């Protein structure tokens, strides 16, 4: 993978996406993962009882499955408040779905979560180099608009990524970079990082989460509420 790339680098994106699929352990149970994401997107902590009902599963089965998934964050009562990039806790990356103000663990999450949620989202973040505000409208099938238009996303080298601590080893390094100068500045001090333009980063996300969408794609998305 080149240190910077665009959406035309199909082979490079495919290889990178395959490597990143391991950061989604829940891909082996897409219906349950999507049910959890949909419930979280309502903006309230999710109980095991509510998730079992939404996924049409037994509560014991759901509890066992969640116990095997890393990076499921809970509040002090044990209710789920974050999963697979979507969080109810404030971060630097805002994701508004309808009237619901949500957040994500990293910039990249805002690009693939709309497809998993089946909804268009308004995104707001900040470039760590320039300090400027970044705003996007992201639909399930692509980035509808981005300000600034020349937008990039940083990714750390996969060798430092630990799926047991995805927020501490990966997400904290994934940011929107506003403009080519910001992208170059980022890579001057982080030579091993990958920087993609925003359309390539969206395509990377689409490919990386494909396993969550492929098993009966239309019906998987229609979890009961």
> CA of 104: how far to CAs of 37, 68, 94, 125, 185, in Å?
12, 22, 7, 10, 24
Pairing mode, strands 73-74 and 133-139: unpaired
Give exposure, 94-114, as e/b (b: 16+ Cβ within 10 Å).
bbebeeeebbbbbbbbbbbbb
Nearest of 215, 123, 161, 156 to residue 223 by alpha carbon: 215
Query: In angstroms, rounded to a whole number, what is the distance separating the alpha carbons of residues 32 and 72?
Result: 13
Q: Any idea which residues carry the catalytic annotation?
A: 106, 109, 171
The rounded radius of gyration (Å) of the Cα atoms in the chain is 17
């Amino acid at each position: 993978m080149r240190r910077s790339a665009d959406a035309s680098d199909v082979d490079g994106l495919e290889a990178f996406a395959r490597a990143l699929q391991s950061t989604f352990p829940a891909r082996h149970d897409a219906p349950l993962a999507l049910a959890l994401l949909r419930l979280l997107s309502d903006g309230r902590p999710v109980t095991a009882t509510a998730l079992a009902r939404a996924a049409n599963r037994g509560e014991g089965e759901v509890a066992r499955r969640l116990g095997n998934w890393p990076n499921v964050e809970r509040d002090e009562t044990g209710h789920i408040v974050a999963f697979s990039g979507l969080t109810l806790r404030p971060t630097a990356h805002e994701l508004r779905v309808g009237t619901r103000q949500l957040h994500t663990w990293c910039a990249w999450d805002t690009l693939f979560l709309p497809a998993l949620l089946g909804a268009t989202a308004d995104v707001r973040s900040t470039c760590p180099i320039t300090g400027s505000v970044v705003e996007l409208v992201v639909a399930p099938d692509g980035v509808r608009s981005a300000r600034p238009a020349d937008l990039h996303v940083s990714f750390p080298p996969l060798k430092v990524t630990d799926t047991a601590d995805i927020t501490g080893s990966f997400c904290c390094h994934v940011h929107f970079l506003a403009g080519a100068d910001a992208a170059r500045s980022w890579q001057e001090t982080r030579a091993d990082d990958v920087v993609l333009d925003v359309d390539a980063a969206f395509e990377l996300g689409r490919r990386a989460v494909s396993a969550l969408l492929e098993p009966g794609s239309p019906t998987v998305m229609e979890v009961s509420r």
